[in-house]
């Protein structure tokens, strides 16, 4: 009997031990399973987070591309502290432009958001661009009295002054302030024309570089060569009256000031190393499409009623004091002043010069 009792105690002890071992193994397996589930879930979350972050960066870069496209079409407007937000695929981007003080660069910063993940990228652009418009002044523009009319964009690196009855159908931009506002709707965008104050300066030299018919406007030496080889050349300042100028190659060059006192006419381009002063009727016809009208090393001053076609460039100031129509552009290194009923039309058949936007570096 003692033997049987001892055997029964040992058998129960072994069963209890086995149960404990099984429970421990079950707990370990459960912990391992939970850990494995957690690790798998965390890996999936991390993978999704990385994937969303990569897509957010791609969306941010798409925002950069969208802003660069807008800068190419209307640089003055979009470079002036503008913000653009658009949906893109499964996320969206917010892109903005910023011009640091006393800097010649433009910063474009874009943030892309996808599934809560944000990524930001920044590019730096040099602020050098072309201008395609009706009036460009390196200084101020003054449009005053008797309702001057301008059909095309205008820009002044200084300020823009004007009377309340001035009509400008085009975008107005100035590095300073403007006393006039545009009217009308842009037919290309269907939106009203805008005024931009505090705009970046326009390089007049770059604007002139766009015109190369038949040669660049500056320097004047190219025009001098044409005048002395088949054109009309005056070695000193002249006062002309009652003349009909028809140079065989379309160029009249005056080495000094050119003054027109009586009714005269010209088929071609008048170039003066000094100033051009029109006192009386002066009929002008372009020698060929796209050729400039007047090129003056100093000033252009017009005091009578005339109609001109082509670019009028003054190395200093342009002044118009009577009823005049210009079918082309007025460009002055300094100021442009139009008083009385001056009308300026951008030629409708001119091709717009696209803005060259160059990336100088990716900052982030």
Q: pLDDT by residue (tens digit) across 175-219?
A: 999 999 999 888 877 889 989 888 878 888 777 766 677 788 888
- As a whole-number percent, the residues of the chain with pLDDT over 70 amount to 80
The pTM for the full model equals 0.67
Q: What b/e sequence results for 8-35 when a residue is b if at least 16 CB atoms lie within 10 Å of its CB, and e otherwise?
A: eeeeeeeeeeeeeeeeeeeeeeeeeeee
Q: What b/e sequence results for 336-360 when a residue is b if at least 16 CB atoms lie within 10 Å of its CB, and e otherwise?
A: bbbbbbbbbbbeeeeeeeebebeee
Backbone angles phi, psi at 338, to 5 degrees: -125, 115
d(CA 156, CA 330): 12
User: CA nearest 358: which of 129, 201, 175, 121?
Assistant: 129
Model confidence over 236-258: pLDDT tens digits?
Answer: 999 999 999 999 999 999 999 99
Model confidence over 259-284: pLDDT tens digits?
Answer: 998 889 999 999 999 999 998 889 99
Backbone angles phi, psi at 311, to 5 degrees: -75, 135
Model confidence over 290-323: pLDDT tens digits?
Answer: 889 999 999 999 887 788 988 999 999 999 987 7
């Amino acid at each position: 009997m003692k033997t049987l009792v001892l055997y029964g105690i040992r058998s129960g002890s072994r069963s209890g031990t086995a149960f404990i071992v099984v429970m421990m193994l079950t707990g370990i397996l459960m912990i391992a399973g939970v850990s494995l589930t957690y690790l798998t879930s965390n890996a999936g979350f991390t993978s999704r987070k990385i994937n969303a972050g990569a897509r957010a960066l791609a969306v941010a870069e798409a925002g950069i591309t969208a802003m660069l496209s807008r800068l190419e079409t209307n640089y003055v407007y979009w470079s002036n502290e503008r913000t653009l937000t658009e949906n893109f695929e499964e996320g969206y981007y917010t892109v903005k432009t910023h011009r640091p003080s006393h800097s010649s660069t433009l910063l474009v910063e874009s943030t892309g958001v996808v599934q809560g993940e944000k990524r930001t990228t920044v590019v730096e652009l040099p602020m050098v661009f072309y201008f395609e418009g009706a009036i460009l002044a390196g200084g101020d523009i003054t449009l005053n009295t008797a309702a001057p009319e301008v059909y095309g964009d205008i820009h002044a690196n200084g300020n823009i002054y004007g009377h309340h009855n001035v009509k400008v159908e085009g975008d107005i931009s100035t590095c300073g302030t403007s006393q006039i506002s545009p009217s009308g709707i842009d037919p290309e965008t269907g939106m009203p024309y805008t005024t931009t104050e505090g705009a970046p300066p326009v390089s007049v030299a770059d604007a002139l570089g766009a015109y190369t018919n038949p040669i660049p406007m500056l320097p004047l030496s190219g025009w001098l060569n044409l005048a002395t080889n088949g054109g009309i050349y005056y070695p000193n300042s002249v006062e002309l009256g009652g003349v009909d100028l028809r140079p065989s190659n379309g160029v009249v060059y005056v080495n000094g000031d050119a003054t027109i006192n009586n009714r005269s006419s010209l088929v071609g381009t008048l170039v003066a190393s000094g100033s051009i002063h029109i006192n009386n009727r002066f009929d002008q016809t372009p020698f060929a499409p796209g050729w400039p009208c007047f090129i003056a090393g100093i000033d252009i001053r017009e005091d009578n009623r005339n109609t001109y076609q082509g670019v009028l460039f003054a190395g200093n100031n342009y002044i118009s004091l009577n009823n005049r129509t210009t079918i082309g552009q007025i460009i002055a290194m300094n100021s442009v002043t139009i008083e009385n009923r001056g009308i300026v039309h951008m030629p409708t058949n001119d091709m717009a010069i696209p803005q060259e936007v160059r990336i100088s570096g990716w900052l982030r």
